[in-house]
A and B are shown apart, each in its own frame.
Chain A
C-alpha cells in the first residue's frame, strides 16, 4: 500500500537527541492525524490537522511538536524524549475532519528511546 507512507520505519534515539518523523499521504485528503500506539494500550490520538490548521492537541507534552506544511505532509518533531515515549507512532489521513470520514493509516514508525 502506498496511500499513506511514513519514514523512518524504525528509529532509536537517546533522550538528548532531536529527530523528526515524516508522514506523506497520496490520497488527496485534507485531514491528517498523529496517533501513539503503546503495548497493551488503546490507540491514543495526539494531534489533528485539517486543511493545514491544527484542530486538536490531545494534551500532548511539548517535547512532541507537530508541523503540517501542506495537506499532504505531516511531521512530528521530537526532542528530549523519555523512555516511556517508546511506542509505534502512526499517521493517518481522511478526506476531511468530517463526522464519518474513514481514516487511513500509514505503516508507523517504531520509536525506541534509550
Chain B
C-alpha cells in the first residue's frame, strides 16, 4: 500500500519568513496530492492540491511543487503570519483511490 512520509514534524519560523514542508510517497500510481491545514480544535481544511499533470501550483502565499520522478512534493508558505500556525498534513491517493496521510507538521510562526 501507499506510504507517505512528512518532514519536519515541527517547524518554528519568524513572522515574515518562509516555511517549507516536504513529503515523499511510495506508490508511483498516485496522481493527486492535497495539503490540509488543521488549527487547534478544528477540522482539517484543504488549502491547496496538485495533480500529477503539473509540477507546481500557486495560490497567493502558498505553493506546492511535485517531482513525480523522485516521488516527493512540498508545501511552500511565504511571508508567514501568526495565523499560519497550525498542523499541516500532506496526503497522496493510492491505487484504491483513497488518501494516505503524512504524520503532520506543527508549524509555529513567532510574531
Residues on A lying within 8 angstroms of B by beta carbon are: 1, 4, 33, 40-43, 45, 48, 56, 90, 97-100, 102-108
Contact = CB atoms under 8 A, between A and B. Distances in A.
Nearest to A110: B41
Interface residues of B, number: 24
4 smallest CB-CB distances across A and B, nearest first, come from A100-B32, A43-B101, A105-B43, A42-B101
B68 to A, nearest CB: 15
25 contacts: A1-B43, A33-B98, A41-B103, A42-B89, A42-B104, A43-B44, A43-B89, A43-B91, A45-B98, A45-B99, A48-B98, A56-B96, A90-B44, A97-B98, A98-B97, A99-B97, A100-B31, A100-B93, A102-B34, A102-B46, A102-B49, A103-B46, A104-B46, A107-B43, A108-B43
- Judged by DSSP, the binding face of A is loop
B61 interface: no
Contacts of B103: 40-42
B71 interface: no
- Judged by DSSP, the binding face of B is strand
A24 to B, nearest CB: 14
B81 to A, nearest CB: 21
A47 to B, nearest CB: 10
Contacts of B46: 102-104
Nearest to A45: B98
A107 B104 CA distance: 18
Contacts of B36: 105
